[in-house]
Structure formats: C-alpha cells, structure tokens
Amino acid sequence: MYGRARFCAVRLLFLLLAFGVPAFTIAAQPGGSNHLLLTFLGDIMAHTVNFRAPDYAAAYLPVRWLLERDTLTFANLESPVVPDRACSSYPSFNVGPDYLRAALEAGIEVFSLANNHAYDQGPEGIVSTLESVRAVGRASFRRIYCSGTRADPAEPFRPVEIAVDGARIGFLAVTQNLNLPEPQGYVLRVDYQIEAEVEAFFELLRPLTAPYDLFVLSYHGGREYARQPEAARRRFFHRLLETGVDIVYGHHPHVPQEYELVERAEGRGLILYSAGNFISGMTWRLGPDEPDAERAWTGDSLAWVVSVSFPAGERSVERVWPVPITNVRDPRGFMVVSTFPGLALQGLSDSWASFYRERSRQLQELLRSWQPFTVDPR
C-alpha cells in the first residue's frame, strides 16, 4: 500500500506545482508502513446532463489516476438508485445502477448516502439503493461501503467498519435534513442548529468511535452556496472531534470551503467544511464569458487527499493535499471531471480555455487564502 501512496504523492507534487498551489500542501509523504492515503470528494449529483451522458465512465477518466492509487476514496452519492424507475433530476433525483457502477469502477469505494435527497424516492428508494449498492459491488467483484440509511427503521444506526491495510476504520454518515417528510427514521438526521438533537447524537456517538483505529464522520449540511462555514456548524464540527471523530467530512453547500487541522491528545484531527461538488450539471448553462459568475464556484472543487498515520497506537492526520478539480463540458456537451492541468487534453476552444484560466486563477487565490493552520482547543 505504501508504494501506491508514495506514487500518488509524487504525482500530486507535480500536479500541484503545475497548478501553483502553495508550498505547504506539497510536503513529502512520510515514510513507514502504517499509513493510509484517503481521498475525499464532494457531491456526486444526478442532473439531467449527467445521467443522459452516453458513457458514464467518461466523466471520471481524467481523474482516475488519482482515485485508483489511494487506499480509499469517499464521496457523497446525492441520489437514490432505483433500477425500475426512470432517471430523474431535481427536485426528485433517481439514477440506475450503471451510474453508481461508473463511480465504483473509477475508484470510489465509500459512499455517504445521508443527504437531503436520500428520501426522494420514498422508503422503497432507501431499500432499493442499499440493494443496488450490494448488487453493483458483487457484479464488479469489489466491496462498496456505505452509511447513513437503513432498510429497517427498527435496526440501530451503526458505523460501517472498513478493514484495510491492518487498520479498522469506522464510517458514519449523517444529514442535517431531508427535502421530504420522513418520520420513520430511514435516514440518520442531526440538525446542528437544534441543541436537543445534537446532545442526543453525541450520546449515541461516544461509544461508537472507541473501537476503531480511525473514525470518519460524513456530515451533509449547512447553507447552500455559502463560501464560508456558519459559526454554529464550526462549533458542531469541533465538538465532533472532541467526541472521538478523527476526520469530519462535510458537504452540501455545493462550493468548496476551508479546512482545519486540530491538535488533540489522541492525534491531529481534520475538519473539511465542504468538499463542494465532485460532478454535477450546475454549471452546464454557463457561457465562456461568465467566469466571474457566482454559480461558477459550483463547478470548481477539490479532491482532498489525506495522509493518516498511526504512531504508537495513536492516529494522526499527517498531510492534506487539496487537489483542484473542475467540471467541464466535453465536445459532446456532457460534464467531465478534470484537473486544471488536464484541461489541456479536453480540446477547449479559445473562449473556454480563457474561462478556465480565470477559474484556475480564482481557485488559486482561494487556496492561498487558506492557511494550513492548526488549532489547539485546549
């Protein structure tokens, strides 16, 4: 595993240098055998331009080298998967198993299913999505991990355990709210703005984190399109780290937000406030003369590559590489995920090349404004 991690880190070095990312992000990968390299992506949306593409795998081709060479890749699947219903876009999402299969075969193994669209297809959609995850994994001869929903509301919510390279990872996914009323409890919901829900959740969470070498909590919430996290969500995420969570993986705003490294007695923790969109159709209608449109931020994102080590029985986030990525219309008019240097291979017109040069510049400025600061709450 470490050989794969080192190869990925070296390629990241060249990619980030080409993009002009500040030097703090490209420190050398630490040595040793007990390291994991985890990648966190944003939302996998299911807009019409996405699911009508003739080849779902093509959307991932420019970034497969990144997703296939880490230990695990995480993403938020923001759509039910119900094979016997038609694909549909906002406000009620649905995709078929082939849409999920393309993500898995591109290298994404861990999915958050807890988000505001989880209940779009009702209880049948919850059950069908879980069945589809298992079926796609079996057909691909690969294990898929998912969390955040349950087929039987009488069953307790438990973290999914991921055993990889000698480490036990606990993964639990939570959403702030749902778009439709769902009184049965199929989806794990915690509104960080409601104190009673927060306290009840912490009581549930404390004993769940202890058995694992590393605990990742996915949280889908916050204000959509906000470029900064809300103060209350900051406090909630910090409290999660105090309760035994090691990496808080946030999404839902559809735009990238900053990160924090937090020093703790048990090892350094990480907060990713919003991973943005990984793939969507939100920028499909933008023209090449609109690089300054606020909506353009929904097409730019970051693949967060995180190195985790386990020194002397502890666990610590050692390095964080925010890899800039963007959504681009391919010559057929469908959305593809690409690194910014990789756009040179997309055959862009002069006007679109100018658009992405400006998006690259703005994303560089955003990254430079984020400090790799470490917070010690004590």
Q: What is the pLDDT of residue 22?
A: 39
Please, which pLDDT band fits residue 373 given cuts at 50, 70 and 90? low
Q: Which of 273, 287, 263 is nearest to 322 (CA)?
A: 273
Q: What is the pLDDT of residue 112?
A: 98
The radius of gyration of the chain from alpha carbons, rounded to an integer in Å, stands at 19
In the predicted structure, residue 3 carries a pLDDT above the cut 50: no
Query: Distances in Å between the alpha carbon of 214 and those of 154, 167, 168?
Result: 27, 8, 7
> What's the whole-model pTM score?
0.91
Q: How far apart are CA 260 and CA 301, in angstroms?
A: 17
Query: How do residues 320-366 score in pLDDT, each as one tens digit?
Result: 999 999 999 988 889 999 999 999 878 899 999 999 999 999 999 99
Mean pLDDT for 301-329 is 92
pLDDT greater at residue 29 or residue 153: 153
Average pLDDT, the chain: 90
Please, which pLDDT band fits residue 27 given cuts at 50, 70 and 90? very low
Strand locations in the chain (E): 35-44, 72-77, 110-112, 145-147, 160-164, 167-175, 214-220, 247-251, 259-262, 269-272, 277-279, 300-309, 316-329, 335-339, 374-375
The length of the chain is: 378
pLDDT greater at residue 276 or residue 373: 276
Tokens coding 279: 């793939």
Query: How do residues 142-177 score in pLDDT, each as one tens digit?
Result: 899 999 999 999 999 999 999 998 899 999 999 999
Query: How do residues 97-147 score in pLDDT, each as one tens digit?
Result: 999 999 999 999 999 999 999 999 999 999 999 999 999 999 999 899 999
Mean pLDDT for 304-312 is 91
Domains of the chain by start residue, with CATH? 2-375 (3.60.21.10)
How many CB atoms are closer than 10 A to CB 86?
A: 9
Please, which pLDDT band fits residue 249 given cuts at 50, 70 and 90? very high
Q: How far apart are CA 67 and CA 110, in angstroms?
A: 12
